[in-house]
Amino acid sequence: MLKELQGKTAVLTGAGSGFGLECARIGARGGMNLVLVDVQADALAAAKQECEAMGARVLAKQVNVADAAAMEALAAEVKATFGAPHFVFNNAGVGSGGLIWENTVAEWDWVLGVNVWGVVHGVRLFTPMMLEAAKADPSYRGHIVNTASMAGLLTPPNMGIYNVSKHAVVSLTETLFNDLRLVSDQVSASVLCPYFVATNIHKSERNQPDTVAAQAKTQSQLIGEAMTEKAVTSGKVTAADVARFVFEGMAENRFYIYSHPHALGNAQSRFDAIVAGDNPPDPFAKRPDVGEQLKAALRAV
């Protein structure tokens, strides 16, 4: 269990905003060394300046987490600068929606590249480093937190590409947790499954590659973006709240970290249907007005 932060090292992707930035702030206040990673240069520079002003030692790197070579270079620099990290937060993520057959290859490459490959690279590069540190030092404790989503436990319509990426992160992290238990009692893992929280995830187009940005959006994507923005911006749970949940979850060695536990009712309905062999349940059973609104909008296209 990672409880003591002073002098420990944290690697955080997507550190320029949202959950990543809020976790960096907690780490800085706790006396951690910080490795801040983001693809957006201006947000990264602002995060670095803020955390340094709080007294933290900061290594800030502009990296596309989907790029294997760039992530390998990052891991080497982290080890050379701070040694093995104690907290790795594979958090960088992007959002994209629309009817699942309308997503282009470029969109699949982008979303899976950041949301899945970004986590894969973080796990494959930092886990061996952490296990090596654990073998060398019985007092070492390390924890990996991967950001998924409630969309990794549910299958809401009109956002399939995002669902697929986040289901992959949940599966990857559950497997990581079980694999780690086989080899070490000093390194563990958690998966973060936030629901609708006010972050910049609904503004992911700001960092789209040219191959995606050049494409005209479909009507289903425009409808999905409008509904997501409304849900995200009206949320009462803040990114700072979620960051606190992350550190509490690590300290308690809790695997599943939720922002909105009440949303698990929909997950229970889904798993009940899976066990019973029933068709997928209505994702809008508790909010039929939202379902009818989406259906009407899509059928009017």
258 forms bridges with which residues in the sheet? 193
**Dihedral through CA 151, CA 157, CA 158, CA 159, nearest 10?**
10
143, 156 contact by CB (below 8 A) = no
Alpha-carbon dihedral sign for residues 23, 24, 28, 34: positive
In the three-class reduction of DSSP (H, G, I as helix; E, B as strand; rest coil), residue 27 is classed as helix
Rounded CA-CA distance 164/54 in Å is 38
| Active-site annotation, residues | 162
Q: Return the half-sphere exposure (C-beta side, CA atoms, 13 A cut-off) of residue 255.
A: 12
Q: How distant, in Å, are the alpha carbons of 217, 273, 279 from that of 276?
A: 38, 5, 9
SS3 percent helix, strand, coil of the chain, rounded to 5, is: 55, 15, 30
Query: In the β-sheet with 142-147, what is the strand arrangement from edge to edge?
Result: 58-62, 33-38, 9-13, 87-90, 142-147, 187-193, 256-258
| CA atoms 197, 170, 265, 204: torsion sign | positive
Max Cα-Cα span within the chain:
63
Record the tokens describing residue 220, joined without a space.
Answer: 């289903």
Q: What are phi and psi of 285, to 5 degrees?
A: -55, -35
